[in-house]
Structure 1
Amino acid sequence: MKKIILLSFAVITFAISSQIAKAQDDAKPKTDAKSKSDPLFKAEGWVASLNLTDTAKATRVKQLITAHLIAVRDWNNSHDYTLVPEGMNPITGKTFNKLERQVIINSMIPKTVHETLMTGLRKELTEDQVELILDKYTIGKVAFTMNGYKSIVPNLTKEDEAFILTNLKLAREQAIDYKNIDQVSTIFKIYKTKIEDYFTNTAGRNWKQMYKAYADAAKAKKAQQPAKE
Structure 2
Amino acid sequence: MAAGSITCRPPHLPQPASFATAMNKQLITATIAAALLPLACSSAYSQAATSTTAAAPSVAAQAKPAAEAAQKAADWTASLNLHDAQKEAAVQAVIAAHLKAIWAYNDAHPYTETPAGLNPATGRPLSQLDRQLVAVSAMPKAIHDNLMSGLRQQLTPPQVEAILDKYTIGKVAFTLSGYRAIVPDLTPTEEEVILANLKQAREQAVDFKGMKQISAIFEIYKDKNEAYLNTHGRNWRTLFKAYVDAVNARKAADKANAPATPKTPSE
Same fold (TM over 0.5): yes
Which of the residues 142, 162, 170 maps onto 1:112? 142
CA distance in 2, matches of 1:157, 1:163: 10
Superposed CA offset, 1:121-165 (max 9, x none): 001100010000000000000000000000001211110110111
In structure 2, the residue matched to 1:60 is: 90
Normalized against structure 2, the TM-score is what?
Answer: 0.71
Which of the residues 205, 221, 245 maps onto 1:216? 245
Aligned-pair distance for 1:225?
2.2
Structure 2, unpaired ranges of 5+: 1-52, 262-267
In structure 1, the residue matched to 2:70 is: 40
In structure 2, the residue matched to 1:152 is: 182
Moved over 3 A (4+): none
CA distance in 1, matches of 2:254, 2:70: 45
Which of the residues 170, 177, 191 maps onto 2:207? 177
CA distance in 2, matches of 1:154, 1:117: 36
Superposed CA offset, 1:56-103 (max 9, x none): 110011000000000000000111111111100011111111111111
CA distance in 2, matches of 1:89, 1:100: 8
Superposed CA offset, 1:162-186 (max 9, x none): 0111110000000000011110011
| Residue 207, structure 1, aligned to residue 236, structure 2 | yes
Letter in 2 for 1:54: D
| Residue 191, structure 1, aligned to residue 213, structure 2 | no
CA distance in 1, matches of 2:184, 2:98: 40
CA distance in 1, matches of 2:204, 2:119: 21
Normalized against structure 1, the TM-score is what?
Answer: 0.82
Structure 1, unpaired ranges of 5+: 1-22
Which of 1 and 2 has greater Rg? Answer: 2
Query: What is the aligned-residue identity percentage?
Result: 51
CA distance in 2, matches of 1:225, 1:40: 46
Q: Which has the higher contact order (CA 8 A, sep 6+)?
A: 1
In structure 2, the residue matched to 1:70 is: 100
CA distance in 1, matches of 2:252, 2:133: 39
| Residue 143, structure 1, aligned to residue 168, structure 2 | no
Letter in 2 for 1:134: L
In structure 2, the residue matched to 1:163 is: 193
- What secondary structure sits across from 1:77 in the alignment? helix
Give aligned pairs, total. 199
CA distance in 2, matches of 1:195, 1:55: 41
